[in-house]
Structure 1
Amino acid sequence: MSASVKDVAEAAGVSVGTVSNVLNRPERVAAATVARVQDAISRLGFVRNDAARQLRAGRSNSIGLVVLDARNPFFADVARGVEERAAEHGLTVLVANSDEKADRERAHIDLFEQQRVHGVLITPVAESLPRLQRLRERGMPTVLVDRESQDGGFPSVAVDDVSGGRIAVEHLCAIGRRRVAFVGGPLSLRQVSDRLEGAQRAVADRDDATVEFIGTNALTVEAGRDAGHRILERAPSARPHAVFAANDLLALGLLQALVMTGDVRVPEDIALIGYDDIDFASSAVIPLSSVRQPAALIGSTAVDLLMRIADDSTAVNDHVVFQPELVVRASTGGLAAR
């Protein structure tokens, strides 16, 4: 049978309250007493019951993080930023992958609620957020990551994806490309629809430029390769002059499909730009131009906002929006080392 707090108190010759202070607030206890209690803990092999402690406190020392696709290096960078900042607050991070599926997202949220996590950071699958609203009603802080809520009802940390889409296509137009294809999907993902909207705004006042939408069912390398093959099935005269991919994984898949046949040169025949500027973008066989998001900063800022909400409920109206940055490389004619 494992030792209890009462056993430790008796062995150290102190009260149960003193043992509790040593475990939770050692700065309040004399150094000699702390040493005596720690010696008793070591001799008895006492292990604190964090689950019971968290139940009494009403909240655990973990943060729940739900990402859209754990395979995407962008979300890995976001998670790194979350973990580094959470550690500064003495919190751990539980990472869950929704895989862009609403039912998996709901299951992860239910689990986090059962575990009474300190709060939830989430990139939601859909615009409707009733499950998150229930979390908030029950007093669990929730922050949207890489997404703003349509009605502004949830605090959020995001990048201006409309602006990102606009600067990507403005760059393509500036290098002389007029027939642009936007590859991405599903459009139910806010990030995708916002980037498409930005692309369309870039050509709205131009009579000589167009943006065609080529849909995908996912934001993966495989979906990018499929889109690339669909483009290659067209006659050369019907192909776009440039492709803007909704993220870098799609762009890398497109790049593979376009260059493998040897019939298409990038960027001479088709210029290509992605979004996120993941590490693989700069090391691709043809270094990939991209729209950079500050992924780790998004993660750390989300934790800051979560902690602020935990201390001040009025912070639920806080929204942080970062501006994206254009990174030009060889896939749109820039210098490979740039």
Structure 2
Amino acid sequence: MSPRRRTTLRDIATALDLSVNTVSRALADKDAVSVETRRRVKAEAERLGYVPNTMARSLVLQNAMTLGLVITNPSNPFYARLISAIEERGRTRGYSLMLMVTEDSIDNERRAAEELMRWGVDGVLAIPVQHGTEHWEGLRKSGIPLVLLNRHLPGLDVDLVGVDYYAGARAATEHVLSTGATELYLAEENLDISPVSERIRGFHDTLAAHGLSAPDDAVVRVDSPGGGGVSVPFDPGPAYEIGAALARRAGPGAVVLAGNDYHALGLYRAFTEHGLRVGVDVGVVGHGDHPFSAYLDPPLTSVRLPAAEVGQAGVDRLLERVETAGQAEGGEAAPAHTLLPPELVVRASVPRPDGGEH
């Protein structure tokens, strides 16, 4: 059975003996069309299964009503929440979402930028790979506004909306120091990206503010899982190996601050297998506060990230740029960085040598 031909405005016009222009104006609720005619046109459109052709409308209005989103790995729980918030916010403003996944590949990112330019999207939100700016500069020169999410890209002067990872690391480190712990480690992703560098900076600055310094081996790097170009969920395995090594050299009451909650999972198992009780003998702090964190034994102290708020603020900022695009030079506000504060959620995964409660 061959597919049914798409119903057009002309089909509705022919059925009702009206002009195509009248049908178009009736469906758009224009005042020049009578209430009765609008009623008849809408009823016939429903009967015939008419669906507006968004692409044709875009050609006429020179507005695609579509936003591009370039993201590194949608299996990251933070990014999954981010995508949902962006889609919902865009939808309420009348925009559809075109999602492009890069897997942290610069080649994939270049292709994504070129593809979005060809489609003529109205604006782009991007979590950049953080290597190279030429393709993003090309997108901007084509007249498409760009807002970065969550990662700063040196050399590219555009808006950024993200999380204040520095503040999150400082809050987590301050909490650990407040329990009386003096042996601290930071298990971070082995990636050259701004969230990681900001967490490391926050860790060191907080220690320095207390007159402490971390030994060279206090920051350990955890390799990210490889998926052969396919998104894979965060893997606790590499952090488990790190935890096994730390269990052999960490002293009583040592605490490891993990770059994400999946790393914390690996640390929990490694410490347990080496006879160390998390929350009693050693401590672990996570980052992300994923849903499983509260159900670990003991419940994991973690830094909660405002994923939805970042997505919503990113869409709002981008649409501000879309609405002012094409204005005379000097009429557009300078790019700004907006970093939203995370929240430390204290549970029972850090021991208190002073005997106090969590």
Among 305, 326, 329, the alignment partner of 2:344 is 326
Deviation at 1:266, TM superposition (A): 0.7
Question: Aligned in 2, Cα 1:252/1:52: closer, same or farther, shift over 3 Å?
Answer: same
Question: CA 1:200/1:309 → structure 2, altered by over 3 Å: closer, same or farther?
Answer: same
CA contact (8 A) 2:13 2:23 kept: yes
Question: Which amino acid in the other structure matches residue 232 of structure 1?
Answer: A
Aligned to 1:246: 259
Question: 1:216 aligns to what?
Answer: 222
Tell me the equivalent position of 1:297: 309
* CA distance in 2: counterparts of 1:207 and 1:79, whole angstroms: 41
TM-score, normalization by structure 1 = 0.87
Give the Cα–Cα distance (whole angstroms) in 2 for the partners of residues 87 and 333 of structure 1. 46
Quick one: which of 111, 119, 122 aligns to 1:118?
Answer: 122
Shift of 1:333: 4.0
Residue aligned with 2:285, SS: strand
The match for 1:136 is 140
Partner of 1:258: 271
1:245-294: CA deviations, max 9, x gaps?
A: 112222223223332x1522112232111112222222223211111221
> Does 2:299 correspond to 1:287?
yes
Report the counterpart of residue 329 of structure 2 in structure 1: none
1:47, distance to aligned residue in structure 2 (A):
4.2
1:42 Cα offset (Å):
4.3
Distance verdict in 2 for CA 1:155–1:15, change over 3 Å: same
Q: Displacement, 1:206? A: 4.2
Identity level (%): 31
Asked if 1:87 corresponds to 2:91, the answer is: yes
Report what 1:199 is aligned to: 203
Does structure 2 retain, via aligned residues, the 8 Å contact 1:245–1:274?
yes
| CA distance, structure 2, for counterparts of residue 221 and residue 11 of structure 1 | 53
Task: Return 22-31 or 210-219, whichever deviates more.
Answer: 22-31
Say if 1:325 and 1:235 are closer, same or farther in 2 by CA, change over 3 A.
Answer: closer
Listed one character per residue, the Cα deviations across residues 197-244 of structure 1 (whole Å, up to 9, x for unaligned) are: 111111124454526121123278765432332342357345691111
Residue range with higher mean Cα deviation, 92-101 or 214-223: 214-223
Q: Which amino acid aligns with 1:248?
A: D
Q: Distance in 1 between matches of 2:175 and 2:134?
A: 39
Q: Which residue of 2 aligns with 1:307?
A: 319
SS of the equivalent of 1:331 reads: coil
Cα displacement string for residues 136-160 of structure 1 (whole angstroms, at most 9, x for unaligned residues): 1111122111234445711121122
Q: Tell me the residue number matched to 2:52.
A: 48
Match of 2:12 among 8, 18, 29: 8
In structure 1, C-alpha distance between the alignment counterparts of 2:176 and 2:344, rounded to whole Å: 11
Letter in 2 for 1:164: G
**SS of equivalent to 2:148:** strand
Aligned residues: 335
Alpha-carbon spacing, 1:24–1:311, altered in 2? closer, same or farther (3 Å): same
Structure 2: runs of 5 or more not aligned: 226-231, 326-331
Q: Which residue of 2 aligns with 1:37?
A: 41
Partner Cα separation in structure 1 for residue 6 and residue 293 of structure 2: 53
Q: Structure 1 residues 3, 174: closer, same or farther in 2, change over 3 A?
A: closer
Distance 1:28 1:258 in 2: 74
Root mean square deviation, CA, Å: 2.8
Match of 2:288 among 269, 276, 285: 276
Distance 2:129 2:299 in 1: 30
- Unpaired runs of 5+ in structure 1? none
SS of residue in 2 equivalent to 1:233 = helix
Q: 1:86 to 1:167 in 2, by over 3 A?
A: same
